[in-house]
Amino acid sequence: MNKKLTAFLTAAAMALPLAAFAWTPSSDVNVIVAYKAGSGTDTGARLLAQQAEKYVGKTLIINNLPGADGKIGWTELVNSKPNGQTIGFINLPTFTTLATQPNATFTTAKVIPIANHLIETGVVVVRADSPYKTLKDLVKAAKAKKNLRASTNGVKASNHTAAQLLATSAGFKYKAIPYGGTADQLLALRQGEVHFTCAKVADIAKLVKGDKPELRVLGVFSKTRIAEFPDVPTLGELGYYPNWYGSARALVAPAGTPKDVIAFYVDAFKKTMNDPECVAAHKKAGLSMNFMDDKELGALIKQQEVFCRDEIAKLYK
């Protein structure tokens, strides 16, 4: 194939999303992220937004609206005009946990699924110089001292729930201290303000590597050991919580957004996440993409809503 034909086909492929859909964005797209800049959600969102621009045809501008464990950003998202110019990221199960609480400022019915972006497994971590070398050590100390502290990414947020799953299944009490998001939560651990924390693989990837790692992974919330940490046991191996637990990070639009707008974005993000350049960029960043279209994501949101209402609620009684 000659260079001119290759260039033509490449240009045609990139222009296809704009030509194939009646609706396209009229200006730059506002992408709401309910956590601060530098957080795990923000990092992934910015990477995907950058990669998606050639398929969306406009610049995707990340708008960080942190606070209240995600409520501020998500309330703004559901109240945005449903015209396709504003979309946003939600975190599961945090979004569904908050949506099922009494007097919630939003519900799952207030958003329309677009596509899932990431699936991330939960982990238990301590500082690299912690006296707790294994998860058994940590649990033993927690039972004996009854005053260990754990940082979380907010009250009843995803990492708080992970700590609850560990503590409940291992039979110990601890003090949960909420921070504004995962970045602050991990900073608290690094600074020695708490004894342990629970986060996701991507959140701690850079902190557990190198010549002088800052953190140590003690356990993973998975049914089988994971590729990122093959030497780290699952919680189930040690007799604690036996199932997978983690987070999904997904794109949604405000309820009322027209079907042709949703179809445009589903197509654009599917093409983005199948783009070799995007795949390579995520791999380099240690992020595990898991594309789901709007229907698959909708089913996941419903499943997570049931999980939050029937299972997570028990952890906070």
Please report the pLDDT score of residue 88 as a whole number: 98
User: What is the total residue count of the chain?
Assistant: 317
Please report the pLDDT score of residue 21 as a whole number: 66
C-alpha neighbours within 13 Å on the C-beta side of residue 7: 3
Q: How far apart are CA 166 and CA 299, in angstroms?
A: 27
Tokens 């342990």 correspond to what residue? 196
pLDDT at 20 over 70: no
pLDDT at 228 over 60: yes
Contact indicator for 35, 251 with CB cutoff of 8 Å: no
Task: Supply angle C-alpha 196, 197, 199, rounded to 5.
Answer: 150
Mean pLDDT across the stretch 167-189? Answer: 94
Please report the pLDDT score of residue 7 as a whole number: 47
Contact indicator for 241, 165 with CB cutoff of 8 Å: yes
Identify the DSSP state of 196. E
C-alpha neighbours within 13 Å on the C-beta side of residue 216: 15
pLDDT at 153 over 60: yes
**19 vs 118 pLDDT, higher one:** 118
The per-residue pLDDT for range 94-135, each reduced to its tens digit, is 899 999 988 899 999 999 999 999 999 999 999 999 999 999
Of 224, 145, 226, 215, give the one whose Cα is nearest residue 185.
215
pLDDT at 309 over 60: yes
Q: How far apart are CA 257 and CA 84, in angstroms?
A: 6
Of 71, 158, 77, 160, give the one whose Cα is nearest residue 111.
77
Mean pLDDT across the stretch 220-233? Answer: 94
**247 vs 166 pLDDT, higher one:** 166
Mean pLDDT across the stretch 236-245? Answer: 95
pLDDT at 316 over 80: yes
**201 vs 9 pLDDT, higher one:** 201
**pLDDT confidence tier of residue 203, bands split at 50, 70 and 90:** confident
Q: Which domains occur in the chain, in start order?
A: 27-118+247-315 (3.40.190.150), 121-238 (3.40.190.10)
Q: How far is CA 295 from CA 116, 235, 267, 288, in A?
A: 10, 32, 13, 20
Of 86, 74, 114, give the one whose Cα is nearest residue 30.
86
Question: In this structure, what token pair is assigned to residue 274?
Answer: 């199948």
The per-residue pLDDT for range 277-286, each reduced to its tens digit, is 999 999 888 8
Question: In this structure, what token pair is assigned to residue 237?
Answer: 């191996």
Q: DSSP strand E in the chain: where?
A: 29-33, 60-64, 86-92, 111-127, 149-152, 175-178, 196-200, 215-220, 246-254, 289-292
Q: How far apart are CA 144 and CA 269, in angstroms?
A: 50
Contact indicator for 202, 288 with CB cutoff of 8 Å: yes
Q: How far apart are CA 176 and CA 194, in angstroms?
A: 9
pLDDT at 39 over 90: no
Q: Output the pTM of the full model.
A: 0.79
Question: In this structure, what token pair is assigned to residue 54?
Answer: 């050639």
- Dihedrals φ, ψ of 127, to 5°? -65, 155
Please report the pLDDT score of residue 14 as a whole number: 52
207 residue type, one letter: L
Average of per-residue pLDDT values in the chain:
92
Please report the pLDDT score of residue 272 as a whole number: 98
Q: How far apart are CA 303 and CA 307, in angstroms?
A: 6
Please report the pLDDT score of residue 214 as a whole number: 97
pLDDT at 89 over 70: yes
The H or E element that residue 176 is part of is: strand 175-178
pLDDT at 205 over 90: no
**38 vs 132 pLDDT, higher one:** 132
DSSP string, 38-81: TSHHHHHHHHHHHHHHHHHSS-EEEEE---GGGHHHHHHHHTS-
Which residues share a beta bridge with 31? 62, 87
- DSSP-based three-state secondary structure for 225: coil
Please report the pLDDT score of residue 6 as a whole number: 47
Mean pLDDT across the stretch 165-179? Answer: 96
pLDDT at 1 over 70: no
Q: Give just the sign of the alpha carbon dihedral 253, 259, 260, 262.
A: positive
